[in-house]
Structure 1
């Protein structure tokens, strides 16, 4: 994966482009909701934490640890949140999709599923992945339901896996989609975006 490349992915519903520190102002409208950050590793629900979140995302891209995207709702043109590739292991042909958050007004609208469609298409296509992983806090039932609805397979729980905000150790639920499953999912769960 070329972390230096400005990757833009687009379908009928959403546009993904590299996240930038300049996205601070438009993201304030959706990020300043404490409920969005309840189960995340860090918070970005005020000016200081959002600026730090953006700076860290850009630094992690430069260090080739994470490729953060801005999620843009094509219908309104608004920035709706962010998502990332991370944990990229070329030798094993796998990566993770995560660091995903979408403003409340955009939840349950299909926007997140449309963004996942783009990321999965690119991962299994251009990047040649055999496996894409997704993970979430075991307390985040909403996220787990969303992963199941898009056809990801729950593989298990890693106990006391990650240190999260406030110094709390979370259990992490791991989901995956593998290459042999992708074609069927493209033509079922993601069919409306796969034109």
Structure 2
């Protein structure tokens, strides 16, 4: 376990097929290319940055890192070296040793692959085994059935629905579904994720 001040010096997390690299301003063009794979910015059940919003997206993430509440990553596919998406820790609460994993999106060509599973395993391992988290939560749109199913497959527990939790870019008042994992569940969750990824 490391001190939280040291922890906020964001690491690179490396697995067998992906690496999570600290986000920087220089990643903008590659992130835009990744989002263009499927034109993800047109999705209505999540917010993915596009040509007009990428700079602000990165700036907001980096400001969160500066204040110690966000740890943003780009997801790099090791076989190609290409950035294929983004994810982050956010709502980092040092006093209560909890955080949320979110703002996760993947290029259409790597969806339904092992990329998301391995990225989540890297994040969760760091959260529970390095940051000594007692709780990690996930939130997704009530209408996003694919995301809800994916979070459950990770081993998270659905806690409930938060009504009108945020307003989407099109003005829709979004109900969000909240999931969590806690420290006493981590050993079993980790075993399940490692089994899914294979040797």
TM-score when normalising by structure 1: 0.91
CA contact (8 A) 1:133 1:177 kept: yes
**Match for 2:49 among 44, 48, 55?**
44
Structure 1 residue aligned with 2:176: 172
Q: Label 1:126 to 1:194 Cα distance change in 2 as closer, same or farther (>3 A).
A: farther
Q: Label 1:135 to 1:112 Cα distance change in 2 as closer, same or farther (>3 A).
A: same
1:8 and 2:12 matched = yes
CA contact (8 A) 1:36 1:103 kept: no
CA contact (8 A) 1:187 1:194 kept: no
Q: Label 1:38 to 1:51 Cα distance change in 2 as closer, same or farther (>3 A).
A: same
Distance 1:11 1:97 in 2: 17
Which segment drifts farther, 178-187 or 131-140?
A: 178-187
Structure 1 residue aligned with 2:74: 70
Structure 2 residue aligned with 1:153: 157
CA contact (8 A) 2:139 2:178 kept: yes
1:191 and 2:195 matched = yes
Which segment drifts farther, 28-37 or 165-174?
A: 28-37
CA contact (8 A) 1:11 1:193 kept: no
CA contact (8 A) 2:41 2:49 kept: no
Distance 1:5 1:100 in 2: 21
Structure 1 residue aligned with 2:83: 79
CA contact (8 A) 1:151 1:177 kept: yes
Distance 2:149 2:98 in 1: 23
Distance 1:51 1:69 in 2: 15
Q: Which runs of 4+ in 1 moved over 3 A?
A: 1-4, 34-37, 191-195
- Unaligned segments of structure 2, at least 5 residues: none
5 Å matches for 1:94-105? Answer: 94-105=98-109
Which segment drifts farther, 89-98 or 151-160?
A: 89-98
Name the Cα RMSD after superposition: 1.9
Distance 1:91 1:155 in 2: 22
- Unaligned segments of structure 1, at least 5 residues: none
Aligned pair count reads 193
Distance 1:137 1:71 in 2: 22
CA contact (8 A) 1:87 1:95 kept: yes
